[in-house]
Amino acid sequence: MKNEHSGFLDFLNAYISNYLPCAVGVSGNTIKSYKYAFRLLIEFMHRQKGIPADKITFENMNYETLSEFLSWIENERGCSASTKNQRLSALASFSEYAQNRDFAAASVFRSNINKIPAKKAPKKKRAVFSTQEVTILLRLPDDKKDTGLRDKVLLSLMYASGARAQEICDLKVGNIQFHPKGASLNIIGKGGKSRRIGIPVACASMVKQYLGHRNLNGKPERHVFSSQTHEQMTVSCIEEIFKKYVNIAKQENPLLFQEDSYPPHSMRHSTASSMLEAGVPMVVIKNFLGHASIQSTQIYAEISQNTVDKHLREWNEKWFPQNGADEKESVKQENLPNFLR
């Protein structure tokens, strides 16, 4: 019979290594986030409680300890309320998994987690490009250079498809079927769910020419976009691409691009907002974006109104200026089990 201290890590190992990727089918980014939550927990237990990883038990996970951990990541590590809630969500998910497999050992852990409320987080403002800003952004890459051509096609495809950054990274040549009216993409989304979407002729032609330029035709297993060092591009690489061109756009257009930052997901928001303003039904947008429920798509109704208000404000400021209103984290590797490294 296994002793209790090995039980906690054994359950955690199975949860991270098998249950999340195989049984649930969550994305790699979600697994990465959950792993980091437990890396923080192990660091807290070791540094603040003097309990090394191999001595952690479900009994250690009492209400006071869990509350102290969540306060620690907020106050000592500077986690935002939303990030703190994500860590709590990871703990809650694992506690449910463990309780279902060993009720006697993990039921108290599960009960203590359920007593801790999520912290109310301030509503996060979503950055959205206007149509004018998208046009400016897509013109910036120098397509006479290989990296510039890649960036131009990538940005254009993200706007045309509304795909997530990870979905673009995972896109392979074999996932694209060209036809006279454009092209169809087989997108693999969150949880391994697939959807088939169409992109217009203009963007499809760019992608087709790009594949030819890179000699990728007839190579269905090759990824469409690569970095300078890897055959498959990473999300962090796309983030750098967005940061680069948004910074240039801000310098050249000081009256536009007013948000502090525009992550890659901003392009997805912009696609949905543009579709909504063009009169595309909400349920069509839902299926196009691969949302699990219509509630996830409803946020774009508000985004769209914000975009309208922004255009009206810019129009008023331009034509009636006299009436216008003035407007990290690194965890020490010591004491960590291998499956969390």
pLDDT value for 241:
95
Determine the pLDDT at residue 17.
92
DSSP state of 329: -
Q: How many helices (H) does the chain have, and how many strands (E)?
A: 13, 3
Q: What is the reported pLDDT for 288?
A: 84
Report the amino acid identity of residue 178: F
Instruction: Count CA atoms within 13 Å of residue 264 on its CB side.
Output: 23
How many residues are recorded in the chain?
341
**Residue 320 exposed, middle or buried by CB count within 10 Å (0-12, 13-18, 19+):** exposed
Helices 146-161 and 235-252: crossing angle, nearest 10°? 100
Q: What is the model's pLDDT at position 338? A: 78
Q: Residues 189-215: pLDDT tens digits?
A: 877 788 898 899 999 999 999 999 999
At residue 4, the pLDDT reads 43
The model carries a pTM of: 0.62
CATH architecture of the domain 4-121 equals Orthogonal Bundle (1.10)
User: Which stretches of the chain score pLDDT less than 70?
Assistant: 1-6, 121-125, 300-334
50: left (phi over 0), alpha (psi -120 to 50) or beta: left
Q: Which contacts (CB < 8 Å, 24+ apart) does range 109-116 have?
A: 109/58, 109/61, 112/61, 112/62, 112/63, 112/66, 113/61, 113/66, 113/88, 115/63, 116/63, 116/66, 116/67, 116/70, 116/88
Spans of all domains in the chain: 4-121, 131-323
The torsion of the CA quartet 203, 204, 209, 210, rounded to 10 degrees, works out to 70
CATH number of 131-323: 1.10.443.10
Q: List the one residue out of 126, 109, 137, 143 whose CA is nearest residue 301.
A: 126
In this prediction, residue 326 carries a pLDDT of: 44
Q: Strands, DSSP E only, in the chain?
A: 176-179, 182-188, 194-199
